[in-house]
Structure 1
Amino acid sequence: MSQNSDIFKVDVAIAGGGLVGMTLGCALAKGGLKVAVVDFDTPSYQVEGDYDGRASAISYGSAQVFKGIGLWDYIEDHASPIYDVRIADGHPMRGISPLFMHYDHRDLGEEYGEAALGYIIENRQTRVALYKLAKEYETTDAGGELHQFYPVGVDTIERTSHKATLTLTDGRQIEAALAVAADGRKSKIRAEAGIKHNEWNYDQTAIVCTVEHERDHQGTAVELFLPNGPFAMLPMTDGRTNIVWSEKTKLAKEFMDLSEEDFMAELQLRFGDWLGDLKLAGPRFAYPLNLILADHYVEDRLVLAGDAAHGIHPIAGQGYNLGIRDVAALAEILVDAKRLGLDIGSHSILTEYEKWRRFDNVMLAAVCDGLLRLFSNDHASIRLARDLGLAALNKVMPAKKFFMRHAMGVIGDLPRLIRGEKL
């Protein structure tokens, strides 16, 4: 957007207009705050087909957040429900283990009725929906305001006891009560604020692509634990499936360099024939995999959200869901503070957000890391033990229901949006 040389004043300035940054911007605007979102990439570029090939597993709780901020109306037609999840060991040559864990949405009982466990939504479609929703907040008619600054980055942030002033790379300035770093795992804002982080490189790369197939997936998501990393098959709309194939980085490069015919032969070998013959539907993408955990989330007039605070392995499909839970918690705290006439950038208010979110984020990161180390190997004794463990858990309904509810994002101290209540 274009602005004059005067300082543009808002309640909250968000550095990073990706999925988490834009979701937070829309949530805060829904709650009546004036928000600025800054990003290097234009919306038109971010929704191009070759910008991002990933689809995200959106938990039941995250879908509640989407509904609460008005995003669901724009995205529902692109959300493929997950009714069943099957988790098992696999091997490119030996096939799939007969011992497995199976989540069935019908096992949840009357509390959730026929509700899906979650949804698979293409990241591109989520961005399209977020930009449509953001249009509603370009004026004050909808309550709050959301202003997008692009294509431009944040050059510096000057933080005092009373405000944060963002100087953009084109010289413009934004003054806010609070700055939010939602600029990803390599967050420049986090680094310049002196917030340290722990990082672990998994030496794995996620090969991501979308395939068409002969038979209907019927809303079934499958995660196979192959010797070199997990292989996820995620049900999409229009009879398609999104593949997230975690592979050793050296091998992943070799697979990416294969011809389409040879690549599909390798893919079919791992995918199996349960949906019939496969056909590649779009380009292939590759994303390096690592773990990022910030030491803390709060500094004076600054807070971290999403991958700037925590980035995890996609083994459980929870990365964006953690970011959405950050959004729900932070939006609730800031909106409530604003309604009470409090300073939304005060340290005491922001530490409540850190207390609320840090334990959940660290615990899930540790669980995903542990699962990856347990399942990304082909030791016969370990393979037998984990297969028997999956099969045993599959028979213990109370335990299985707990894990299902946890995957749905409805366990713990939940923000109002996740509970289905108004912000």
Structure 2
Amino acid sequence: MTAPDRSAPIHDLAIAGAGAAGLALAVALTAELGPGVRAVVFDPALARDRPRDDGRASMIAADGRRLLERADAWPATAHPVAGLRITDSRLEDALRPTFLELGQDQPADEPFAHMVSDADLRAALSARAEALGVRLDPRAIRSHAASAGGVTLGLDDGGEVRARLLVAADGARSGVRAREKIAVSAFPYDQTALVATLAHEAPHGDVAVQHFLPGGPFAMLPLAGNRSSLVWSERRARAAEMVALDDDAFVAEVAKRAGPDFGALTLAGPRSAFPLRFLIARSFVGRRVALIGDAAHVVHPLAGQGLNLGLRDVSALTRVLGEAARAGEDLGAPATLSAYESARRFEVAGFATAMDGLYRLFTSPLARPLRDVGMGLVDRAPGLKRRIVAAASGL
């Protein structure tokens, strides 16, 4: 690497990764501190005119919605979710009794959650970032080296950029995290998530439905119109068979699991498959480096909390960096990063462990009677249900 140009302006914040978490951080911090903040986001995906649509959508909890609304980056296509209905059954069961319902008593102005396609969310965040003056750079970060005054980034075209702080939002296989030599606790699940957008004859009533089937959780999550986002977790070998099917045969398999409530189903967008894994970084910070989103943690999607955890990282880091900036402190200082680590890592570790426990509980046929009794008891305890909804919504 050539010697950095010390005369060049130093950015306050450099972000690796233009996914939802990285863009949300750039937008939230710039919106809070004003145009004086110099922020840059690096990702080769920014060379595309519009984010690629792979069929994924996310259920965004109320605290995530408030974060994006404050930054004026809430997507117009977001669709409210009035509640969640949970069943536990076998594929061949003629009836799927509801064991637990959550969120149906939420006030109309504060729904349980909202569904947003990942492509629409990234498009809204990109547009807001540009409006706020965030620099969106389609180059990739190939190296970084921290010093007392900042961190120097080596880019894939040979260029260099300096920043006070580098944030890794570059996914589960984070290059920043690897170069920083931050260890992870990680293991694969014997499951793959199949995702798609489906149109259906019958209305969904804005209610999300999740069936716990022997192969894994199968969720139909409401979108605008008579459409739903499918998130179907299946054992890897069986999922590979589903991926190999043509569209009509795939939809027929979906219909077997969705049951009759939706009527006839048709594909309304691309379908994709993603191997599932557990991952948590053993530290969320390094020297002038902070980790957010999937670079810091990956959890099973059975509770739909992956993006919400990332947005809570964004909220915590925005608060910590905002306080440091207003106090005239260095954004990349050890004390600043320690405050972020304290705010997030232990909470995330506890949540990730709980999600792994739920995965094992709901994939064990021996535990079915116990979990059905447990869900039934929760469904009959209004106070406990309200606390669960409050925790899931981040409120």
TM over 0.5: yes
Matches within 5 A, 1:20-419: 20-30=21-31, 31-32=33-34, 33-42=37-46, 44=48, 47-49=51-53, 52-72=54-74, 75=75, 77-106=76-105, 108=106, 112=107, 114-138=109-133, 146-150=134-138, 152-379=139-366, 382-410=367-395
Kept in 1: contact 2:46–2:136 (CA 8 A): no
1:418 corresponds to which residue? Answer: none
Is residue 89–residue 96 contact of structure 1 (8 Å, CA) maintained in 2? no
Moved over 6 A (4+): none
The answer as to whether partners of 2:86 and 2:98 remain within 8 angstroms in 1 is no
Q: Which amino acid aligns with 1:57?
A: M
Cα distance change, pair 45–360 in 1 and its aligned pair in 2 (3 A): farther
Aligned-CA RMSD value: 1.5
Structure 1 contact 105–115 (Cα < 8 Å) conserved: no
Residue 343 of structure 1 aligns with an amino acid whose one-letter code is D
Once residues 392 and 280 of structure 2 are traced to their aligned partners in structure 1, the CA distance between those partners, rounded to angstroms, is: 21
User: Residue type of the partner of 1:372?
Assistant: Y
Deviation string, structure 1 residues 18-41 (Cα, Å, up to 9, x no partner): 111111111121123210100021
Secondary structure of the residue that 2:148 maps to in structure 1?
Answer: coil
CA contact (8 A) 2:100 2:376 kept: yes
Deviations 1:124-143 (A, max 9, x none): 100110111012122xxxxx
> TM-score by structure 2 length?
0.95
- In the TM superposition, what is the alpha-carbon distance from 1:389 to its structure 2 partner? 1.1
Deviation at 1:7, TM superposition (A): 4.3
Q: CA separation of 1:101/1:281 partners in 2, compared to 1, >3 Å: closer, same or farther? A: same
Shift of 1:42: 2.2
Instruction: Identify the range of structure 1 (218-227 vs 256-265) with the bigger mean alpha-carbon deviation.
Output: 256-265
The letter for the 1-side match of 2:52 is E
Structure 2 gap ranges (5+):
none
Contact 2:45 2:51 in 1 (8 A): no
What SS does the aligned partner of 1:274 have? Answer: helix
Structure 2 CA distance, aligned partners of 1:175 and 1:337?
19
- After TM superposition, give the deviation of residue 96 of structure 1 in Å: 4.9
8 Å CA contact 1:206–1:286 kept in 2: the answer is yes
Amino acid at match of 1:44: R
Q: For 2:219 and 2:47, how far apart are their aligned partners in 1? A: 28
- SS in structure 2 opposite 1:372? helix
The TM-score with structure 1 as length reference comes to 0.89
How much has 1:97 moved relative to structure 2? 3.5
Compare 56-65 and 336-345 and name the one that shifted more.
336-345
Task: Tell me the number of residue pairs that the alignment of Structure 1 and Structure 2 aligns.
Answer: 387
Q: Is the 8 A contact 1:206 1:287 kept in 2?
A: yes
Distance in 1 between residues matched to 2:246 and 2:332, nearest whole Å: 53
Gaps of 5+ in 1: 139-145, 411-423
Give the distance between the partners of 1:235 and 1:276, measured in 2 at CA: 14
In the other structure, the counterpart of 1:14 is 15
Q: In structure 2, what is the Cα distance between the partners aligned to 1:183 and 1:240?
A: 30
Change (3 A) 1:69 1:358: same
